[in-house]
């Protein structure tokens, strides 16, 4: 089962009050096919369809029709279709989806009257049109694919009441409400009550973050080594330019010491070079002192090159 399927299977088993079930069912049916003949709900998740069947039966005392057919996608998964024809108009009005004969673009306000109702409404929407990447297999990504621009903005606003930083993007003839921040996706799982999935998600996220941090540190260390070697090579070239032009006698005694040690330890950093000189000469020399003398050597080498050109 996919990670999305695991999350959906987990949240449908949560215990909720009747008002919360109504909000959840509103989110489900609002993202289904609504026509004059009734309501059709499609899903590849058998457990989700059975859950929706139970909600409708419990709240409205009817038995929706369920049919199964092969899908047309590459995997040819089974598609489960739940149809509501009896009391369809009454159900749509009760769920805040229909006002008179008009299907509303966004549900009536009483469906999301408090935080608990909002959580369950979002849960219902996720069951119908939500998906979330397995953090172990791909990048962090959670999305809802909805039909209209108005509804996408509405759903994004609901999510952002919990500071999830969701965004909206047009995709073909639909609209995608999505999140890409790992921490926010973890917060979403907490909001809909997917505790087991959240623990799995956070374990993978911590592992990946630690691995990425280690890689960054290694890359940073490698880059520092490469910069140290490149700088040392430039300094050796400067010293060789001076030697070819007239020898190290062109330098003052302190700079001659630095030049000789640089030629002897060609890949040492300035810190390492200062430690070596301090140890072998018995005279304390800091990194800044080495750097200062190297700058003078570089200036002399540049003047020599300018005259040669």
| pLDDT of 128 higher than 80 | yes
Q: Are the C-beta atoms of 123 and 193 separated by less than 8 Å?
A: yes
Q: From CA 297, how far away is CA 248, in angstroms rounded?
A: 10
Computed over every residue of the chain, the mean pLDDT equals 89
Q: From CA 7, how far away is CA 217, in angstroms rounded?
A: 34
What residues form DSSP beta bridges with 98? 103
Give every strand in the sheet of 167-171, ordered side by side: 130-132, 142-146, 174-179, 167-171
Q: From CA 88, how far away is CA 238, in angstroms rounded?
A: 87
If you ran DSSP here, which 8-state letter would residue 32 be given?
S
pLDDT single digits (tens) 223-234: 777 888 888 889
pLDDT single digits (tens) 292-304: 988 988 988 898 8
**214 or 165: which leads in pLDDT:** 165
**309 or 206: which leads in pLDDT:** 206
pLDDT single digits (tens) 78-102: 889 999 999 999 999 999 999 888 8
pLDDT at 190: 95
Verdict on whether the full-model pTM lies above 0.85? no
């Amino acid at each position: 089962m996919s990670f999305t399927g695991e999350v959906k299977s987990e949240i449908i088993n949560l215990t909720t009050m009747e008002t919360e079930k109504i909000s959840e069912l509103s989110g489900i049916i609002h993202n289904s096919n609504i026509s004059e003949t009734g309501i059709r709900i499609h899903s590849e998740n058998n457990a989700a369809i059975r859950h929706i069947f139970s909600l409708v039966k419990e709240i409205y005392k009817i038995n929706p029709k369920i049919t199964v057919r092969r899908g047309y996608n590459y995997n040819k998964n089974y598609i489960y279709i739940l149809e509501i024809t009896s009391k369809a108009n009454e159900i749509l009005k009760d769920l805040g989806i229909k006002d008179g004969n008009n299907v509303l673009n966004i549900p009536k306000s009483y469906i999301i009257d408090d935080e608990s109702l909002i959580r369950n409404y979002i849960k219902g929407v996720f069951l119908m049109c939500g998906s979330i990447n397995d953090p172990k297999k791909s990048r962090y990504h959670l999305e809802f694919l909805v039909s209209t621009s108005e509804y996408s903005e509405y759903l994004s606003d609901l999510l952002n009441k919990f500071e999830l930083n969701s965004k909206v993007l047009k995709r073909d003839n639909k609209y995608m409400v999505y999140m890409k921040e790992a921490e926010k996706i973890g917060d979403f799982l907490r909001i809909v009550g997917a505790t087991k999935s959240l623990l799995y998600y956070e374990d993978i996220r911590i592992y990946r973050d630690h691995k990425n941090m280690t890689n960054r540190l290694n890359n940073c260390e490698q880059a520092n080594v490469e910069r140290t070697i490149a700088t040392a090579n430039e300094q050796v070239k400067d010293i060789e330019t001076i030697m070819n032009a007239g020898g190290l006698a062109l330098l003052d005694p302190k700079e001659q010491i630095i030049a000789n040690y640089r030629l002897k330890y060609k890949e040492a950093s300035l810190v390492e070079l200062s430690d070596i000189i301090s140890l072998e000469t018995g005279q304390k020399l800091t990194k800044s002192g080495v750097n200062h003398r190297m700058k003078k050597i570089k200036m002399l080498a540049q003047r020599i090159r300018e005259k040669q050109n």
